[in-house]
Amino acid sequence: METDVTVYGPLRSATGAKTVSLEWPGGTVAAAIAAFVDAYPRAKSQLYDGDRIRPSVRVAVDGERAALEDQVPEATSLTLVPAVQGGSDDET
């Protein structure tokens, strides 16, 4: 299955473009992320903490927020927003 994936933040340095085409067998959002990392290994540190997808990673399927266990339908697009780091809760 072919899926267009739009990426934000530091993921662009891994892909070299805002939107890329991903060829993968299909399945869940988590499987799509794994296929994306296989295609763009430099993205792994932004999306995974060890073997787990970071809880702060946000994914949308056709513009709607999606859970990792959701199925990705044919002829759809994904948006990946990586973990956001930095800042402090302290106000001084």
- Domains of the chain (ranges; CATH) run 2-81 (3.10.20.30)
The residue type at 2: E
Write down the pLDDT at residue 52: 95
Instruction: Name the β-bridge partners of 79.
Output: 6, 60
Q: Token digits for 83?
A: 């973990």
Query: Which of helix, strand or coil describes residue 3?
Result: strand
Per-residue model confidence (pLDDT) at position 12: 94
Which pTM was predicted? 0.88
Torsion of CA 46, 60, 23, 75, to 10 degrees: -170
Query: Does pLDDT of 84 surpass 80?
Result: no
- pLDDT digit string (tens) for 19-66? 999 999 999 999 999 999 999 999 999 999 999 999 999 999 999 999
Mean pLDDT for 61-79 is 96
